[in-house]
Structure 1
Amino acid sequence: MKKSLLKVAAIGSAVVLLAACGSSDSGSGDGSAAPGGSAYAGPVGAGEGTLNVLAWPGYAEDGSTDPAVDWVSPFEEATGCQVNVKVFATSNEAFTLFQSGQYDVVSASGDASLRMVYGNLVQPVNTGLVPNYADILPELKNQPWNTVGETNYGVPHGRGANLLLYPTKDYPTAPDSWAEMFEADSPLKGQVAPYGDAIYIADAAVYLMATQPDLGIKNPYALDQTQFDAAIALLEQQKPLVAYYWGDLVKQGQDIANGTVKQSQGWQLTANFTNSSTPGAVGSVKPKEGTTGWSDTWMVKKDTKSINCSYLWLDHVASPEVQAQIAEYFGEAPANIKACDLTKNANHCEEFHASESDYWDDVWYWTTPTEACLDGRTDVKCVTYDEWVKAWSSLTAA
């Protein structure tokens, strides 16, 4: 795990800049019908020999990071598909890399998946050719970040919440609110670390949903201009509190552990990794206002020449055996609930709320903002992801 995280750390600063700059062709779309084309009819036959995988760190491990962590090699042996893995650190980096056409499959978070759909980069997925899809949690299927209309574009991978991380030595009682990360009277000036990506605007919107209900925000990814302006104003208010916008999760964890950063939005992975060397140093909690989160999707390049290897991979990573390994290694809830019987830590799924539907009620999974409001409104236009990126670039450059 450490080697994968250090790869993320090495590119962290560059990735934050990339996220701020965005792409000239984000493919965020206007909410019209998704690109056409038929899903692969099958049958899934012998692999073509090579599969190029673009993935979050910890999603496609081949034993090079840790010899004991390897679900790629068994796949290669079983299918004859030689897997080449490239990791990325943010969704913006994933989108830019996938545009190159070099990769057959990608583990896309919701803030990239619709960009890939509307950018005509991925193809519909025939879930009938993925036997393990039947055991994926129903609440992760047919969602706005993996399905457009009746067309499914991928297989759910897992899910997690973006949590409030804090140094336990400074908080005998865990904080229960995002307030000190946002409010002007916060005592934490220069001591908070927000996520360094435009999708963090949604975190401000989540806080406003709870604290300024008169704004009428119903979905943090469906912001009309007035609501969007309020979220940006809140982030401007936050700026005096910011130590830095994090992109290097190793540094983030270390700074929280030593108290340089008092509060940060981040992943359970960061707390787990830091606590592995400094036990109990970093605490994590889901605040009372709710939070953003992720439900990643395995997607297939539109014109891949390795369609059989791609489908074999989709089924492999959706299997309970592999889902258990990934969920435990990365630190998330598996999408295949059968994985819970196979984790080494018998309490893993309980700790990550895998089957607690109520826990996820106020977790807003990353979703690409589009002009057609995702909350169902038709009387206004919502601010697109392109505009989110422009506003974020202006905010963080000043």
Structure 2
Amino acid sequence: MATKNALKVIGTLAAAALALAACGTTSGGETAKVAESIGDGEGQVSILAWPGYVEDGSNDPNVDWVTQFTADTGCKVSYKPFGTSDEAVTLMRTGQYDVISASGDASLRLVAGGDVQPVNMSLLKNYPDVYPFLKDQAWNTVDGKNYGMPHGWGANLLMYRTDKVSPEPTSWGSVFGGAAEHSGKVTAYDSPIYIADAALYLMKHKPELGIKNPYALDADQLAAAVSLLKEQRTHVGEYWNDVVKEVQSFASGTSVIGTTWQVGANIAQADGAPVETLLPEEGATGWSDTWMIGSKTKNPNCAYKWLDYIASPEANAKVAEYFGESPANPKACELTTDKDHCTTYHSGDAAYAEQIWYWTTPVAKCIDGRTDVKCTDYSEWTKAWTEIKG
């Protein structure tokens, strides 16, 4: 991937009626329509997405997949970027947007709130090409209903300064139990969903807690993860949600070890910072984004057309390479400018992907199959995260 483009992306914060079939019901109790065909576009579509997912050439004249979409469909795109999943959920709940790119820590909240609608995947011609391990997953499918088109994916990796951290770490223990060794120079992702990283570590190292899924924590399991993160807090120099700022911290030596995305490592290495990344022995959390359609959309045809277009090999290749992630469509790998892009991002490596616990919104109904206890939901995680950071 072109690291200058990635830096620009992340530093920059997008009429015939649709024929409708039987109604479905979201878990939030809202009635939702399921499309049975796609009509002519309404002429416009409003998109809420991560920075770098909806590029029209205004940030970089050489990076543009929106113009082709408009030319093909007649749907003019308006786009608003968001910085965090919490912000995305708040904005989507206004009902002002037709489409959203939702990570797993947002998607189930949107489904539960009735803010998005089930999607008839049989209408999307590019869906059959999507990697099977991204389909019918907990973060994009509820009660057997699909809620959108899988997009890019990636792992939350461990990054470290090779000149400051020795020997090479192999475990997340280097930022938990071993964090004192680099006290004040440990960094961690700034979000309640980071609690899952601690839960994953405990799942492997304290099996007596009974954690089977890092996003399905009962009250006692959550308390254990919170305790671990409060201990880590004494050694954390910075929490980050802007990967560019995190890269700058590694370059200056303010941070020497912590969680990152592969794109952050690519930027740092291109700038000459002595860093490396690894997928620790416990596995990792990660993200698999989903393009979803608002339940109140007034432009359903254009919304469906966008979901199909963005998963096409041509568009998916451009987005994945510019943003810095694995594409969802394997045919995109043949079209990236950097022919090693899909190797770098482990595209199609099912064994690698199986080690990733993709962000999934914590809900009260335990997603690990337990029925004898109540699990903690995202609101409880949010409260806990406030306590952790103090």
In the superposition, the TM-score normalised over structure 2's length comes to 0.92
**Separation in 1 of the partners of 2:357 and 2:92?**
25
The CA deviation at 1:39 is: 1.1
Aligned residue in 1 for 2:116: 122
The CA deviation at 1:248 is: 2.4
Aligned residue in 2 for 1:41: 36
Amino acid across the alignment from 2:248:
Q
Aligned residue in 1 for 2:260: 266
**Separation in 1 of the partners of 2:339 and 2:202?**
37
8 A contact 2:179–2:235 mirrored in 1? no
> Is the partner of 1:245 in helix, strand or coil?
strand
Q: After superposition, what is the alpha-carbon deviation per residue over 1:203-242, rounded to whole angstroms, capped at 9, x for unaligned?
A: 0001111111111111000001111110000001101111
Q: After superposing the two structures, state which structure 1 stretch, 112-121 or 50-59, moved more.
A: 50-59
> Is the partner of 1:131 in helix, strand or coil?
coil
**Separation in 2 of the partners of 1:148 and 1:328?**
30
Aligned residue in 2 for 1:335: 328
Q: After superposition, what is the alpha-carbon deviation per residue over 1:77-119, rounded to whole angstroms, capped at 9, x for unaligned?
A: 1111111111112111111111122211000000100000010
The CA deviation at 1:185 is: 6.2
Q: After superposition, what is the alpha-carbon deviation per residue over 1:286-321, rounded to whole angstroms, capped at 9, x for unaligned?
A: 111111000100000002111111011001101011
**Separation in 2 of the partners of 1:82 and 1:282?**
42
Write out aligned runs for 1:375-386 (5 A): 375-386=368-379
Aligned residue in 2 for 1:391: 384
The CA deviation at 1:33 is: 7.6
Amino acid across the alignment from 1:92:
D
* CA spacing shift, 1:279–1:380, aligned 2, 3 Å: same
Aligned residue in 2 for 1:286: 279
Amino acid across the alignment from 1:6:
G
Aligned residue in 1 for 2:184: 190
* CA spacing shift, 1:177–1:99, aligned 2, 3 Å: same
* CA spacing shift, 1:166–1:337, aligned 2, 3 Å: same
8 A contact 1:47–1:80 mirrored in 2? yes
Amino acid across the alignment from 2:58:
S
8 A contact 1:271–1:284 mirrored in 2? yes
Amino acid across the alignment from 1:320:
P
Aligned residue in 2 for 1:18: none
8 A contact 1:174–1:285 mirrored in 2? no
**Separation in 2 of the partners of 1:135 and 1:182?**
39
8 A contact 1:371–1:382 mirrored in 2? yes
Aligned residue in 2 for 1:243: 237
Structure with bigger strand share is 2
8 A contact 1:179–1:186 mirrored in 2? no
The CA deviation at 1:150 is: 1.4
Aligned residue in 2 for 1:17: none
> Is the partner of 1:313 in helix, strand or coil?
helix
Aligned residue in 2 for 1:11: none
> Is the partner of 2:55 in helix, strand or coil?
coil
The CA deviation at 1:67 is: 1.1
**Separation in 2 of the partners of 1:73 and 1:249?**
28
Aligned residue in 1 for 2:105: 111
**Separation in 2 of the partners of 1:202 and 1:361?**
16
Amino acid across the alignment from 2:62:
A
The CA deviation at 1:274 is: 2.9
Write out aligned runs for 1:173-188 (5 A): 174-183=168-177, 186-188=180-182
8 A contact 1:110–1:295 mirrored in 2? yes
Aligned residue in 1 for 2:11: 6
1:361 aligns with 2:363: no
**Separation in 2 of the partners of 1:98 and 1:88?**
10
Amino acid across the alignment from 1:282:
V
* CA spacing shift, 1:390–1:198, aligned 2, 3 Å: same
Amino acid across the alignment from 1:37:
A
The CA deviation at 1:263 is: 0.9
Aligned residue in 1 for 2:55: 61
Aligned residues: 373
The Cα RMSD (Å) is: 1.7
Match of 2:217 among 202, 220, 223: 223
The CA deviation at 1:70 is: 0.7
8 A contact 2:28–2:114 mirrored in 1? no
Identity of aligned residues (%): 52
Q: After superposition, what is the alpha-carbon deviation per residue over 1:9-31, rounded to whole angstroms, capped at 9, x for unaligned?
A: xxxxxxxxxxxxxxxxxxxxxx9
The CA deviation at 1:32 is: 5.7
8 A contact 1:203–1:291 mirrored in 2? yes
> Is the partner of 1:187 in helix, strand or coil?
helix
The CA deviation at 1:284 is: 1.5
Aligned residue in 1 for 2:136: 142
